[in-house]
A and B are shown apart, each in its own frame.
Chain A
């Protein structure tokens, strides 16, 4: 038996324990790195040497594997939860902004203006000949129409901002798809070269997939034989091997003015290959708000706040004008057929030019030369209690139900955020318990590998001394 065998065993042990120290150091270094999966060296005894007639003797140790604790089950569940959470968060943010636009729940918005409008006409009905009260009624009408216009414009501004934000998100998703494809490429080449860099790249790709889940909703990830992650978003393939598809935000407007935004997969020339229909995540939420919530021409039948606002404005215009056209102003000798409001919806509602700044012209009486006749003003004031005003409801009840739907949608989003946060915490805790780093555990590993390293060094030292002794025998 060679005296150098001991040196070889010592060398192998030193190298193996050194790798253990490296893995531990890396774990400690990445204790706070998001998505990092702890690494562990797996030692394997090298093949023993046979001693004829005596049995086998060991030849030391090697590191056969650097194990990474990735769990695809948790990764998939966490991605799905991230997606739902992102959708709810965007819903909540959008609805919160709509609440602000509507000045609710401070009761200073359109509901309040509407009530003030009807109140002003009740007030003027007590003294329809009084110019001051007519002026107040006119101002109430002006205030109501201005509130409608301001809210409708702010709603369209919010839609524009949502669209711009979605375009940025689509750009970010494209960057992530490209990064994932690039990581797929690097993973193929690194696997052959280094186990260590392979696990690092897989960790990075996993992190990118989680970032992508925030935008795209349900992601289906399959790992092929080359280690490539092929990614589908809402059923449409977005990454195949080392190739990433390009996403693009498109908007079309039909003849009726209804706008439809879509996220399409396009080829290099920009031509649409397929339209994806995300079921959760920021894309799904933003598309819902662009195409339904904030589209005043929406025909989907979903809850469109902008459309409902338009419907209310149109009802106010039509109902009030249908009464006012039969009335007379203070100086009218013949029926003037005069509207109080002009426009057709929340965007265009305004005071009719025939009464603007001319309170004497407001048609409040049912006949010529009857300034004390308040028939028209009473009828307009009475609209406040008209249970067939809109959708078989009074204006106040319609508005309260409108607000209720926004409140309920907001509460659903808030609850969704809370639930997905809790689920996310649980999933992360479970995943963390498998892949996470425990500093105390690493400290023990550090001592363990350090001691083993020191012992292996002593083995080399002892073997060296034995060799020295043997060499000195021959001198």
Chain B
């Protein structure tokens, strides 16, 4: 083939540009740490990275959701544990009232039961992050409109009704929440209930156990005829057996609450396992993503050196290629 001055220059120029492009590409890979800069550089890798990033972000999202839910469950567990402890205390008081040594202290025990009742109500009104834990989906004050005789917008409230023979104190606890599920998505496809229904924990429609505590309070504070009990008024045999029955019911109530605590513990363990599993999966996915999108530094640095050497030599050759022609030797 006939070689012309221009074809030499064109070939040289093209090779020079190609080399400069390759040096620039390796330089960019090393300086940005990314193996590709444009979508068209590696279409398959780009899409793989997009999909991996989506999965990683989704895993992180649900991992965070579950971690946060575990905190809520932990608070629920503490509130129920405190509640169970107090019921246990109420049961102890009920049993204490049965001993002859305490027969003159029944009014005092009654007052202690009343205080315990107030503590139980406070614990049933426990909240986490501004939402009531045992009110179903009526989690805020704003969502509760008190119906008289209730006056507050709290889920559990001790109200005063007109006294009668069945309830000489006229006290009752009203539950103004509901027993609906609060559910979270624990993955893109699965959901799970995270709240404890008041009905499940406290019996009846959500306030039965409080009625039992009030019943104990009434028995300790009032005589069978409705008059206020004094230290000189011991328990009758009917009252005594009623209190024994209540103590048994408190025991049953504690079992129910402990059962709910157990469910929460199981749920927490499962969530923890999922969080750990998601974390491990993300570590693996990030490694795969890194292989796709991050620069292989040793390889890129080696390539860069190789291309720079080639560029140096090409430039040297260029300086010789165009310095001499026959005209240099003509006089």
Give the B-binding residues of A (Cβ under 8 A).
31-32, 92, 95-96, 99, 104-105, 107, 111, 115, 119, 122-123, 125-127, 129-130, 330-331, 365, 367, 369-375, 378, 381-382, 384-385, 396-397, 399-401, 403-404, 406-411, 413-414, 421, 425, 428-430, 432-434, 436-440, 443-444, 446-447
Where chain A touches its partner, the secondary structure class is: helix
B199 to chain A, nearest CB (A): 16
Query: Would B327 and A410 count as touching, CB distance under 8 A?
Result: no
Is B325 part of the contact surface with A, judged by Cβ < 8 Å?
yes
Pick the contact of B14: A382, A425, A434 (CB < 8 A). A425
Query: Would A129 and B326 count as touching, CB distance under 8 A?
Result: no
Q: How far is the CA of A433 from the CA of B10 in the complex (A)?
A: 12
Complex: chain A residue closest to B185, CB-CB = A378
Query: Would B5 and A407 count as touching, CB distance under 8 A?
Result: no
Query: Would B129 and A439 count as touching, CB distance under 8 A?
Result: no
Contact residues of B between 147 and 189, Cβ < 8 Å to A: 178, 180, 182-185, 187-189
Complex: chain B residue closest to A114, CB-CB = B54
Is B245 part of the contact surface with A, judged by Cβ < 8 Å?
no
Query: Would B325 and A129 count as touching, CB distance under 8 A?
Result: no
Interface centre among B7, B40, B64 (most CB of A within 10 A): B40
Pick the contact of B40: A32, A369, A401, A407 (CB < 8 A). A407
Interface centre among A373, A397, A410, A446 (most CB of B within 10 A): A373
Complex: chain B residue closest to A406, CB-CB = B39
User: Given contacts A384-B188, A432-B10, A438-B4, are A407 and B139 in contact (CB under 8 A)?
Assistant: no
Query: Would B7 and A372 count as touching, CB distance under 8 A?
Result: no
B195: chain A residues within 8 A (beta carbon)? 372
Is B38 part of the contact surface with A, judged by Cβ < 8 Å?
yes
Complex: chain A residue closest to B37, CB-CB = A105
Query: Would B5 and A447 count as touching, CB distance under 8 A?
Result: no
Query: Would A447 and B330 count as touching, CB distance under 8 A?
Result: yes
A403: chain B residues within 8 A (beta carbon)? 39, 46-47, 50
User: Given contacts A104-B39, A372-B137, A400-B54, are A436 and B330 in contact (CB under 8 A)?
Assistant: no
Query: Would A126 and B68 count as touching, CB distance under 8 A?
Result: yes
B10 to chain A, nearest CB (A): 6
B330: chain A residues within 8 A (beta carbon)? 443, 446-447
A73 to chain B, nearest CB (A): 16
Q: How far is the CA of A425 from the CA of B16 in the complex (A)?
A: 14
A107: chain B residues within 8 A (beta carbon)? 49-50, 53
Query: Would A119 and B57 count as touching, CB distance under 8 A?
Result: yes
Is B69 part of the contact surface with A, judged by Cβ < 8 Å?
yes
Query: Would A400 and B47 count as touching, CB distance under 8 A?
Result: yes
Is B320 part of the contact surface with A, judged by Cβ < 8 Å?
no
Query: Would B36 and A105 count as touching, CB distance under 8 A?
Result: yes
Q: How far is the CA of A430 from the CA of B10 in the complex (A)?
A: 12
Interface centre among A32, A425, A447 (most CB of B within 10 A): A425
Complex: chain B residue closest to A131, CB-CB = B130
Query: Would B49 and A105 count as touching, CB distance under 8 A?
Result: yes
User: Given contacts A119-B57, A440-B325, are A126 and B138 in contact (CB under 8 A)?
Assistant: no
Contact residues of B between 201 and 256, Cβ < 8 Å to A: none
B292 to chain A, nearest CB (A): 11
User: Given contacts A32-B6, A373-B137, are A126 and B184 in contact (CB under 8 A)?
Assistant: yes
Complex: chain A residue closest to B55, CB-CB = A396
Query: Would A372 and B135 count as touching, CB distance under 8 A?
Result: yes
Pick the contact of B7: A96, A432, A443 (CB < 8 A). A432
User: Given contacts A372-B137, A373-B180, are A443 and B185 in contact (CB under 8 A)?
Assistant: no
Q: Can you give 16 contacting A-B residue pairs, CB < 8 Å?
A: A96-B40, A111-B54, A127-B129, A378-B184, A381-B185, A384-B58, A384-B188, A408-B43, A410-B40, A413-B40, A429-B1, A433-B2, A436-B4, A436-B7, A438-B3, A440-B325
A440: chain B residues within 8 A (beta carbon)? 325-326
Q: How far is the CA of A406 from the CA of B41 in the complex (A)?
A: 11
B110: chain A residues within 8 A (beta carbon)? none
Query: Would B6 and A400 count as touching, CB distance under 8 A?
Result: no
Complex: chain B residue closest to A450, CB-CB = B330
User: Given contacts A440-B326, A443-B325, are A404 and B6 in contact (CB under 8 A)?
Assistant: no
Is B321 part of the contact surface with A, judged by Cβ < 8 Å?
no
B38: chain A residues within 8 A (beta carbon)? 96, 99, 105, 410
**Extra inter-chain contacts (15) besides given A440-B326, A443-B327, CB under 8 Å:** A99-B39, A105-B36, A367-B137, A370-B178, A371-B139, A400-B51, A403-B46, A408-B40, A410-B43, A411-B39, A429-B10, A433-B7, A438-B5, A439-B5, A446-B330
Q: How far is the CA of A373 from the CA of B194 in the complex (A)?
A: 12
Complex: chain B residue closest to A119, CB-CB = B61
Is B22 part of the contact surface with A, judged by Cβ < 8 Å?
no
Q: How far is the CA of A115 from the CA of B62 in the complex (A)?
A: 13
